[in-house]
Amino acid sequence: MPDMEATLSPMNTSTAKLYSPAAVGRYQLSHRVVLAPMTRLRTLQPGDIPSPMMADFYGQRASNGGLVIIEGTSISIPARSYYGAASFFHDGQMEGWQAISSAVHSKGGRVFMQLIHGGRQSHVEMTGGVAPLAPSVVPFEGLALIRDGWVAASPHRELALEEIPGVVEEFRVAAQRAFSAGFDGVELHGANGYLVDQFIQDGTNKRTDAYGGTLEKRCRFLKECVEALGSVWGMDRVGVRISPSGEWGGISDSDPETTFAYVADTLEAYGIAYLHVIEPRIKGDDTLHEGHAPLASKYLRPHFRGPIIAAGGFDREGAEAIVERGDADLVAFGRHFTSNPDLPFRLKNRIPLTPYVRDAFWGGSEKGYTDFPTATPAELQA
């Protein structure tokens, strides 16, 4: 790849801002194309140890000066939601995660680990036999993925007030493990109806104590988790992902615009590395919903002055446009990155993209995971 890049004529490459340098926290990136966190379900070794093919996958998609965000990594056994999903809660997993961070660094990239607690989106087979946790007990008809396939989620229970600090501590310990494994930072998963999101939104948080009711109280858990991660990394190496228009996991809020403007103000005050926003463009399938204005430009940008990463089914043109407008500073790609390990290079040089294989997204072997080619010299000349 470096040799190919060195021979490019300026006429062959895009000069769009998407391919220009950007600062994220304390790091300087050479371009703004980010690998989005994707649950690929390849952690199938005993003890939830990351598989060697995961190191291959992330190493292939790393680029010099590019940002890679690792898939949602559960912070404990009760935090797990999906069979085969990543986790990091015991020392036996350290070597596997070190191999992944080293694979990204060997390409000159930066790598953040996304930390997650699935909350009520789980099943007792995944949580070690205990009921899934939630801020409140609210009817939920969602599914969970266990060894035998998709099944109805187990009935959840409300976290007792005295239990909440323990969950926050699990986030802190997982952040410390990521630090020890050689990562460059962590991202708090506050999106997609998982535990942090369940606390934020009033459709799932019916508490009347210090963690529910007012907007400030509903965001208390978010703040405590961010502070825990920052205590390990410093706030300039902590990112947060949110999905203000998300519906996954039966999530809802009576006034999402007000709620997430407050969230953005709160995170702005901390000086975190970036705010990662899932735009209301795609809803879990391949259908884009373009009738919505990008969230960053609609109401979050005035509340958060740091770097904003936009995600949500972007193609080349859409990604270049949102960065040029200034509605976002970087764009995270998921689907297209699955089948194009050299996606930043292909986008910049306007090389046709390899179609993704949706059937290989969740679980499987190396097929449809690490067997996609990079661009050839012939494609550069096309």
pLDDT tens sequence across 209-227: 999 999 999 999 999 999 9
Contact call for residues 112 and 70 (beta carbons, < 8 A): yes
Q: Which residues are catalytic?
A: 194
* d(C-alpha 66, C-alpha 62), whole Å: 7
Q: What is the pLDDT of residue 247?
A: 84
Q: What is the pLDDT of residue 294?
A: 54
- Which one has a higher pLDDT value, 201 or 293? 201
What burial class does residue 374 get, using C-beta atoms within 10 Å of its C-beta: 0-12 exposed, 13-18 middle, 19+ buried? middle
Whole-number average pLDDT of the chain: 92
> With bands split at pLDDT 50, 70 and 90, how would you rate the model's confidence at 248?
confident
Mean pLDDT score, 266-282: 90
pTM for the full predicted model: 0.93
Q: What is the pLDDT of residue 11?
A: 43
| Assigned token pair, 208 | 């009347």
Domains of the chain: 2-381 (3.20.20.70)
> With bands split at pLDDT 50, 70 and 90, how would you rate the model's confidence at 296?
low
Cα 127 from chain centroid (whole Å): 21
> With bands split at pLDDT 50, 70 and 90, how would you rate the model's confidence at 14?
confident
Residue 3 has pLDDT above 70, yes or no: no
pLDDT in tens, 57-105: 999 999 999 999 999 999 999 999 999 999 999 999 999 999 999 999 9
* d(C-alpha 291, C-alpha 284), whole Å: 16
Q: What is the pLDDT of residue 319?
A: 95
Contact call for residues 290 and 258 (beta carbons, < 8 A): no
Residue 229 has pLDDT above 60, yes or no: yes
Q: What is the pLDDT of residue 281?
A: 56
Mean pLDDT score, 172-186: 98
| Assigned token pair, 120 | 């009520």
Contact call for residues 294 and 322 (beta carbons, < 8 A): yes
Mean pLDDT score, 313-340: 94
Mean pLDDT score, 131-139: 97
36 - beta bridge partners?
none
Sort strands 157-158 and 330-333 into parallel, antiparallel or unpaired: unpaired
Residue 7 has pLDDT above 80, yes or no: no
Residue 286 has pLDDT above 50, yes or no: no
Mean pLDDT score, 317-329: 93
pLDDT in tens, 334-354: 999 999 999 999 999 999 999
